[in-house]
């Protein structure tokens, strides 16, 4: 749970140089005339708990120390694919400090199979049954086979060595194309093949359009297995009280669905379980619920008779995969670079399926096509292929980044082939501003001014100047590259049938003292949405933000909610809180109207007061009104609504679940976008890429807290850059993951990144209460694609293309060698 | 977590330290800064029952005399970076120490001697020490001996240290030689992929390559520099033929290292000679 308490009002000695805040346009948010200015002199609400975070006093899961806390360790499969013949834990049970040992049969006897975070069969995919501990077959290195709880972590880990497991090793398959080949080892024998699902996204007749196009080109692109790497790894604590009630602390993004799952797996009524989501040191999808360790700590705690904690090691965190995609595409176009048809065979190597949700990233990977471009004929087939690598979980970008990468490469390849400027090719293909809302096969795009954002980033980066610099550098024999990328980022998805839903719930409660609490079903992965929600509610009620506390993540306290994913917080929980606050304000208006003898319409809620605009001396403080409602409600005339607590639900009003007559549907409601320019120089002799400029313009509609949006962009772009250039979890051919530490899995450090320059544009969504769009993922695809385009632009004079990511020095040099020394030694 | 019961020793004299190392031979490790050793023990990659901490011996001094620089075993990267005398007397050592990553924690606790003894191919210090003719002063059950850094490395993660022996200090002779340096790595978090220390003194020219081979690769190219700068094409050939089995790890395959070794060597000479590569 994160509880952000009210804070004393800070002094109003503000800053004056930040961009204008709270750009909520009245046209969209016509329902309210509230003043969303923060306290005078302050241009951004202060981040809640920023002081605790900066001084190292914020509490994370691993800081929780319950009396008698025991520690869990998990025995994991060392084999990528094997039958489990025997698990003997006898010796471990006798080992020092050991309080509980679970073998597969113990777990099976006490627990039902794991519910999937996102059940593939809902969308027509194959499925399987997953248990907490694998007792019959393991399908990847790292799959949990047994577990121990002991007095110290050292004792628990030592006891693992005493558990004997007999395996019959089976042939493993780690490459997606190998897995699709006839005769490949089957990850799930009963399937008959290794194809979980194929998601087609098509309009028109792509094959005919491509065939008829004046020009066409084909290519292949491969992204490596890379994922999120939150600073704080996962962790869970379970504690049973004497009455058999379970309290569960989790570093998780979805406390309520997690509780539902625990109820299902443990066979315990949901109201006997309290799940508390602790403050997150990063989520990014890595902390979606659905992991075996969630119920596992509960079983261990029950068996041991004491609370049990499990914290994921870095090596275990690096097992959780994502984003290993390949594209085989053909695109047809005319002389001006206008795209006439796209065919892309997308393949996601999703690892072994598990109960985790990440496999579903193959859906947006296809759905996002054709991005910001107006293409009548396209045919995208996105394949989810299982192999004997560890399963995927969610990863910021969620497959949309791979669509962006493929599309943006296609556009640049067209520009290069036609001798056109890549910016111009984008411009001729954009969906025009006046055609929104715009339908594609599986998207109802809300609003956009794509050309405006592109123009803005070209100006921000001095694009013409950059091209002039490039010309000079090339004349001097240097490999100077400029990469553009335009990213469309579907956000806020709703997958009915799962617990990945598009709506959420908030309660606003006013106490007699005038203190206000928001209880919401959306959680924060550390982005600061609690600050924004408090600010929105405070603005509706005309009180300082500091008077509003926000409670998230505690299932005993908060309304049922779906937590944090797909950049949904403000358009769902935030909007619901605004609606609830408005209803509270109406109720308090009724009371104040009676108390001040003023028409309710003439009341103004501002500066902590409720004032009658026609008689400005006639005023009560917000707290006085609240207290009077509690003390005199239902007893004094006009005070007939004493309940100062309202719960509302809201969502972006742009879901189209039932296909229209053309078969079109839209599971995502909100479509922010961003334009990017990356500038690199490539060292031709070593393959080292120096990324030295990055510019981006983002449009996520109306913005509540500009600095938080900037923070998201910095992070997302950095993540995209990391994926383009360095981050990689390699596997050996027999299925062993190789990167086990941050010295192997190379995320960018501050010194690896240029100063990212940002600007913004605001095109409100007509479908969300506040005109906002999602703001958490934009930049992953743009950072990735802009870097890859920039490197390829740099290599152009050598005739080289670098389409195997990451573009780290060995891969870049291999691309150079392939072009300059074909058939050479390498 | 360290899973095995562990006995911590803090001897007061080098002889005591050696005696402990002999007594627990096979089940003991020397503790320097612990930045490599302790994480490995936590990850269950190193299991020993005894740790011999050198802190009881002092060994934190940097001593600069007219003819040499002595860096004792517990001198950290931060100590090196803060020492003005050392910066003047052994600027190359300072430069290499400056390039070690891992932030303040590593700089403040990691020792040069620890890095030297760990003998990991993908680290900075071993080849740097070989490249500047450093000498390791060892202490063992039979007393002290000195070994040239160039003779110290046997294989990846393996040195000539005998049972009971440990490094007391690293000495670097002060010479008129100047050095050139080049390092290639993926990103700041990466281990080095290839390093080169080039050196010229009177008629001699040498280059020491790091991270491209199981042990530092010292190549004499004096004959390629008879009249002026080292001949670049011949240098590349020389380096290539000196590198039959390049080092491979998770970050880069051996063929990549072999491919750039000559380039890195040439760049180190370019810096030294002021001539473009
Ligand atoms: C995050 C991180 C980043 C890093 N970045 C880099 C980098 O960029 N470049 C680089 O080169 N290295 C890097 N390192 C490694 C670092 O250089 C070494 O960890 C450090 O120098 C080792 O010194 P130590 O004193 O901590 O050694 P320890 O961990 O104490 O010891 C290492 C080994 O040497 C032995 N040993 C230590 N001292 C002696 C002695 N006096 N006599 C005999 N044996 C001894 C130990 O028994 C052990 O086997 C990094 C490490 C980390 C954790």
Please state the rounded mean pLDDT for residues A27-38: 48
For A349, list phi and psi in degrees, rounded to 5: -85, 90
Nearest CB among B187, B256, B277 relative to A746 is that of B187
- What sign does the CA torsion over A28, A31, A33, A39 have? negative
ipTM of the complex: 0.96
Looking at domain A61-170+230-317, its CATH architecture is Alpha-Beta Complex (3.90)
Report helix angle A780-795 to A809-820, nearest 10. Answer: 40
- Same domain? For B148 and B234 the reply is no
CA distance A332 to A322: 30
Contacts across the A-B interface (CB distance below 8 Å):
73
The answer to whether residue B1 sits within a structural domain is: no
Residue A317 CA, distance from chain mean position: 16
Maximal CA-CA distance, chain B: 62
Do residue B150 and residue B73 come from a single domain?
yes
Residue B69, in any domain of the structure = yes
Contact flag B259-A826 (C-beta cutoff 8 Å): yes
B152 in a structural domain:
yes
pLDDT single digits (tens) A261-288: 999 999 999 999 999 999 999 999 999 9
Residue A15 has pLDDT above 60, yes or no: no
**B187-242 pLDDT, tens digit each:** 999 999 999 999 998 889 999 999 999 999 999 999 998 878 999 999 999 999 99
pLDDT at position B277: 64
Any idea what the CATH number is for the domain that residue B79 is in?
Answer: 3.30.465.10
User: Which is more confidently placed, A42 or A813?
Assistant: A813
Q: What is the CATH number of the domain that holds B244?
A: 3.30.390.50
Q: Does B239 touch chain A (CB under 8 A)?
A: no
pLDDT tens sequence across B14-61 = 999 999 999 999 999 999 999 999 999 999 999 999 999 999 999 999
The three state secondary structure string of A217-272 is EEEEEECCCCCCCCCCCCEEEEEECCCCCEEEEECCCCHHHHHHHHHHHHCCCHHH
Query: What are the tokens at B33?
Result: 């800064």
The pLDDT tens digits of the residues spanning A759-786 come to 999 999 999 999 999 999 999 999 999 9
User: Position of tokens 């520099």?
Assistant: B225
**Separation of alpha carbons A253 and A232, rounded Å:** 13
CB A89 within 8 A of CB A146: yes
Q: Per-residue pLDDT for A2 more than 70?
A: no
Facing residues of A236 across strands?
Answer: A250, A310
What's the fold here for domain A503-650? Aldehyde Oxidoreductase; domain 4 (3.30.365)
Contact list in B for residue A739 (CB cut-off 8 A) is 250
Task: Give the model's confidence band at A5: pLDDT under 50 very low, under 70 low, under 90 confident, else very high.
Answer: very low
Q: Distance from CA of residue B258 to its chain's centroid?
A: 20
Kind of pairing, strands A504-510 and B178-184? unpaired
Residue contact A685–B260, C-beta within 8 A: yes
The H or E element that residue B154 is part of is strand B153-155
A18 has pLDDT over 60: no
Average pLDDT, chain B: 95
Q: In A630-658, which positions are buried (b, 16+ CB within 10 angstroms) versus exposed (e)?
A: eebbeeeeebebeebebbbbbbbebbbee
Is the same domain home to B88 and B194?
A: no
Same structural domain, B29 and B128: no
**Which residue bears the tokens 């939150």?**
A230
* Mutation target vs A (from B103, B251, B255; most A CBs, 10 A cutoff): B251
Written as one string, the DSSP assignment of A380-441 is EEEEEE--SSPPB---TTTTHHHHHHHHHHHHHHHHHHHT--HHHHHHHHBPPGGG-SEEET
Domain-wise residue ranges, chain A: 61-170+230-317, 325-494+666-820, 503-650
Q: Which of A15-24, A581-590, A727-736, B95-104 has the lowest mean pLDDT?
A: A15-24
What residues contact A472, with CB distance under 8 A and at least 6 apart?
A: none
What is the pLDDT, as a whole number, of residue A822? 76
Average pLDDT over residues A407-417: 98
Yes or no: say if A713 and A779 are a contact pair by the CB < 8 Å rule: yes
Residues from chain A contacting residue B277 (CB–CB below 8 Å): 685
| Structural domain contains residue B136 | yes
Q: What is the pTM of this model?
A: 0.95
User: A776: closest CA among A709, A719, A701?
Assistant: A709
- Residues 6 or more apart whose Cβ sits within 8 Å of residue A503: A494, A572, A649, A650, A651
Chain A hits for B123, CB-CB cut-off 8 Å, are none
Contact (Cβ atoms closer than 8 angstroms) between residue A338 and residue A429: yes
Ligand 1 within 6 A of B76 CB? no
CATH of A325-494+666-820, one of 1.10.3720.10, 3.30.365.10, 3.40.33.10, 3.20.20.120: 3.30.365.10
Q: Give pLDDT, residue A824.
A: 59
Residue B78 pLDDT exceeds 50: yes
What pLDDT, on the 0 to 100 scale, is given for residue B18?
98
At residue B39's C-alpha, the angle toward residues B33 and B44, to 5°, is 135
- Work out the pLDDT band at A118, boundaries 50, 70, 90: very high
User: B199 and B163 share a domain?
Assistant: no
Dihedral angle, C-alpha A135, A136, A140, A146, nearest 10 °:
10
In a domain, B134, yes or no: yes
Domain enclosing residue B119, as ranges = 62-176
In this predicted model, what pLDDT tens digit does every residue of A197-219 receive, in sequence order? Answer: 999 999 999 999 999 999 999 99
Q: Does B40 fall in a domain?
A: yes
One domain for residues B43 and B70: no
Tokens of A617: 């001396």
CA distance A613 to A616: 5
- The yes-or-no verdict on residue A20 having pLDDT over 70 is no
Distance of CA A564 to the CA centre of its chain: 8
The pLDDT value given to residue A43: 54
Q: Is B215 touching ligand 1 by the criterion CB < 6 Å?
A: no
Q: Is residue B190, in this structure, part of any structural domain at all?
A: yes
Q: Which of B142, B176, B210 is a domain's end point?
A: B176
Count structural domains, chain B. 3
Order of all β-strands in the sheet with A378-385 = A195-203, A378-385, A339-349, A325-333, A215-222
Q: Do domains A325-494+666-820 and A503-650 have the same CATH topology?
A: yes
- pLDDT greater at residue A40 or residue A705: A705
Closest partner residue to B189 (CB to CB) among A157, A315, A749 is A749
**Distance (Å, rounded) from C-alpha A409 to C-alpha A267?**
50
pLDDT of A21 higher than 90:
no
Strand partners, A218: A330
Q: Residue A19's pLDDT band (boundaries 50, 70, 90)?
A: very low
pLDDT at A35: 55
pLDDT for res A466: 98
């Amino acid at each position: 749970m994160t509880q952000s308490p009210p804070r004393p009002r800070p002094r109003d000695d503000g800053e004056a140089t930040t961009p204008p805040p709270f750009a909520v346009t009245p046209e969209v948010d016509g329902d309210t005339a509230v003043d969303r200015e923060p306290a005078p002199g302050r241009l951004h609400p202060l981040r809640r708990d920023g002081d605790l975070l900066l001084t190292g006093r914020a509490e994370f899961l691993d800081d929780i120390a319950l009396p008698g806390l025991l520690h869990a360790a998990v025995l994991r499969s060392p084999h990528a694919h094997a039958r489990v013949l025997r698990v003997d834990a006898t010796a471990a049970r006798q080992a020092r400090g050991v309080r509980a040992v679970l073998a597969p049969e113990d777990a099976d006897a006490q627990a039902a199979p794991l519910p999937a975070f996102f059940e593939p069969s809902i969308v027509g995919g194959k499925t399987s049954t997953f248990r907490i501990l694998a007792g019959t077959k393991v399908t990847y290195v790292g799959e949990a086979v047994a577990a121990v709880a002991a007095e110290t972590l050292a004792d628990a880990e030592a006891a693992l060595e005493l558990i004997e497991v007999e395996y019959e090793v089976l042939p493993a398959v780690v490459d997606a194309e190998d897995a699709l080949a006839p005769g490949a080892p089957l990850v799930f024998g009963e399937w008959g093949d290794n194809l979980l699902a194929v998601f087609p996204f098509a309009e028109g007749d792509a094959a005919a359009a491509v065939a008829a196009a004046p020009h066409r080109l084909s290519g292949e692109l491969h992204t490596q297995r890379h994922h999120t790497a939150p600073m704080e790894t996962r962790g869970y604590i379970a504690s049973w009280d004497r009455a058999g009630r379970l309290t569960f602390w989790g570093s998780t993004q979805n406390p309520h669905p997690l509780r539902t799952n625990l109820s299902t797996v443990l066979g315990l009524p949901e109201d006997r379980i309290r799940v508390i989501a602790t403050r997150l040191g990063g989520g990014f999808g890595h902390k979606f619920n659905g992991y075996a360790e969630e119920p596992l700590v509960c079983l261990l705690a029950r068996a041991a008779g004491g609370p049990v904690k499990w914290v994921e090691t870095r090596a275990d965190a690096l097992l959780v995969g994502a984003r290993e995609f390949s594209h085989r595409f053909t695109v047809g176009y005319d002389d001006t670079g206008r795209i006439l048809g796209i065919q892309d065979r997308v393949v996601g190597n999703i690892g072994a399926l598990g109960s985790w949700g990440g496999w579903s990233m193959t859906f947006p990977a296809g759905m996002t096509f054709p991005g910001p471009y107006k293409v009548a004929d396209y045919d995208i087939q996105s394949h989810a292929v299982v192999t004997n690598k560890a399963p995927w979980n969610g990863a910021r970008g969620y497959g949309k980044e791979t669509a962006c990468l493929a599309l943006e490469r296609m556009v640049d390849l067209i520009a290069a082939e036609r001798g056109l400027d890549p910016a111009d090719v984008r411009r001729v293909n954009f969906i025009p501003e006046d055609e929104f809302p715009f339908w594609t096969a599986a998207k109802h795009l809300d609003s956009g001014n794509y050309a405006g954002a592109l123009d803005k980033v070209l100006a921000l980066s001095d694009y013409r100047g950059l091209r002039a610099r490039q010309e000079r550098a090339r004349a001097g024999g240097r490999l100077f590259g400029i990469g553009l990328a335009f990213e469309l980022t579907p956000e806020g998805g709703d997958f009915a049938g799962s617990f990945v839903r598009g709506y959420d719930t908030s309660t606003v409660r006013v106490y007699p003292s005038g203190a206000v609490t928001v209880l919401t079903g959306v959680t924060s992965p550390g982005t600061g949405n609690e600050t924004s929600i408090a600010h929105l509610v405070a603005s509706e009620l005309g009180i300082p933000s500091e008077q509003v506390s926000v409670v998230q993540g505690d299932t005993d306290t908060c309304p049922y909610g779906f937590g944090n994913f797909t950049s949904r917080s403000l358009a769902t929980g935030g909007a619901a809180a605004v609606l609830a606050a408005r209803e509270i304000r109406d109720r308090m208006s009724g009371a104040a109207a009676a108390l001040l003898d003023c028409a309710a319409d003439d009341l103004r809620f501002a500066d902590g007061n409720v004032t009658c605009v026609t008689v400005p001396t006639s005023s009560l403080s917000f707290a006085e009104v609240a207290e009077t409602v509690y003390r005199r409600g239902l007893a004094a005339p006009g005070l007939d609504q004493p309940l100062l607590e309202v719960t509302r639900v809201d969502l972006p009003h742009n879901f189209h679940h039932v296909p229209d007559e053309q078969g079109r549907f839209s599971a995502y409601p909100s479509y922010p976008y961003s334009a990017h320019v990356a500038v690199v120089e490539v060292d031709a002799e070593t393959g080292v890429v120096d990324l030295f400029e990055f510019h981006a313009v983002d449009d996520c509609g109306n913005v509540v807290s500009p600095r938080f949006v900037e923070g998201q962009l910095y992070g997302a772009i950095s993540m995209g850059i990391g994926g383009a250039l360095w981050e990689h979890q390699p596997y050996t051919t027999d299925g062993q993951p190789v990167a086990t530490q941050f010295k192997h899995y190379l995320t960018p450090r501050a010194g690896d990144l240029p100063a990212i320059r940002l600007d913004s544009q605001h095109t409100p969504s007509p479908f969300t209460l506040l005109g906002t769009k999602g703001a958490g993922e934009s930049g992953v695809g743009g950072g990735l694609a802009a870097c890859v385009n920039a490197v390829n632009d740099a290599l152009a004079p050598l005739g080289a293309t670098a389409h195997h990511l990451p573009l780290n020095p060995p891969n870049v040099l291999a691309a150079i060698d392939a072009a300059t020394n074909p058939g050479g030694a390498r | 977590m360290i899973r095995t019961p562990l006995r911590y020793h803090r001897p007061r004299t080098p002889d005591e330290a050696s005696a402990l190392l002999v007594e627990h031979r096979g089940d003991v490790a020397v503790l320097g800064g612990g930045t490599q050793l302790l994480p490995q023990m936590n990850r269950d990659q190193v299991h020993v029952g005894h740790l011999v901490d050198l802190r009881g011996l002092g060994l934190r001094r940097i001593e600069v005399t007219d003819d040499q620089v002595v860096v004792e075993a517990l001198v950290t990267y931060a100590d090196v970076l803060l020492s003005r005398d050392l910066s003047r007397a052994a600027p190359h050592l300072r430069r290499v120490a400056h390039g070690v990553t891992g932030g303040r924690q590593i700089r403040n606790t990691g020792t040069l001697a620890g890095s030297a003894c760990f003998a990991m191919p993908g680290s900075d210090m071993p080849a740097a020490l070989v490249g500047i003719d450093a000498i390791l002063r060892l202490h063992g059950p039979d007393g002290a001996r000195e070994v040239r850094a160039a003779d110290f490395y046997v294989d990846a993660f393996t040195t000539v240290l005998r049972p009971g022996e440990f490094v007391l200090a690293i000495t670097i002779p002060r010479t008129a030689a100047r050095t050139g340096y080049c390092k290639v790595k993926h990103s700041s978090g990466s281990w080095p992929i290839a390093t080169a220390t080039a050196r010229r003194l009177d008629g001699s020219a040498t280059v020491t390559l790091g991270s491209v081979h199981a042990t530092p690769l010292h190549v004499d190219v004096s004959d390629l520099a008879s009249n002026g700068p080292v001949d670049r094409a011949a240098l590349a050939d020389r380096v290539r033929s000196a590198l039959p089995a390049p080092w491979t790890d998770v970050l880069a395959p051996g063929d990549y290292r072999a491919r750039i070794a000559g380039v890195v060597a040439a760049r180190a000479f370019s810096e030294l000679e002021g001539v473009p590569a």
